[in-house]
């Protein structure tokens, strides 16, 4: 069943607060992780007006592009490379206010200016992928994004 997102909030935090129950509802009737990742991407892209939102999944010791919303993207990222590979290697969230200042940044699209990457960790504490969110604005991500994106990922059954 198709659902329409409704966001009327002004502040970023209010947007997340309105979006989260809608994402939970989207995920509640589906247990396929890929389908749910696709809906999370769409909800975040359109609900938060992000430039690019997507998942990279660990396959054969690389991050491989999974469900996403936005312009075409890099398809494979090596362990420890770029923001996504570094978040995978370090097993923690990376917030990059200016991607041009991140040593080793992989430019999939020159319009991307800032980025947040959150590792997806399974029940065995193993990183199985990352959520990557890009903005065309500098310094667009902060602890509010980190908090709510981690919460959203907690609803994803992997």
**Per-residue model confidence as pLDDT tens digits over 139-155:** 999 999 999 999 999 99
What parts of the chain have a pLDDT lower than 70? 1-3, 9, 109
% of the chain surpassing 70 pLDDT? 97
Burial class (CB in 10 A: 0-12, 13-18, 19+), 108: buried
Token pair belonging to 156: 């994803």
Cα separation, 138 vs 97, in Å, equals 6
- Nearest Cα to Cα of residue 58 among 146, 121, 151: 121
**Which domains are seen in the chain, by residue range?**
12-154 (3.30.450.40)
């Amino acid at each position: 069943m198709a659902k329409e997102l409704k966001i009327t909030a002004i502040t970023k935090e209010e947007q997340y607060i309105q979006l989260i129950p809608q994402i939970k509802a989207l995920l509640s009737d589906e247990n396929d992780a890929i389908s749910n990742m696709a809906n999370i991407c769409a909800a975040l892209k359109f609900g938060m007006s992000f430039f690019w939102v997507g998942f990279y999944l660990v396959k054969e010791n690389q991050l491989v592009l999974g469900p996403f919303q936005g312009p075409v993207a890099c398809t494979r990222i090596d362990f420890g490379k770029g923001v996504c590979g570094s978040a995978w290697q370090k097993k923690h969230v990376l917030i990059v206010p200016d991607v041009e200042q991140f040593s080793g940044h992989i430019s999939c699209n020159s319009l991307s200016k800032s980025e947040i990457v959150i590792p997806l960790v399974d029940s065995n504490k193993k990183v199985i992928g990352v959520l990557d969110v890009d903005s065309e604005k500098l310094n667009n991500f902060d602890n509010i994004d980190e908090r709510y994106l981690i919460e959203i990922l907690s609803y994803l059954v992997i």
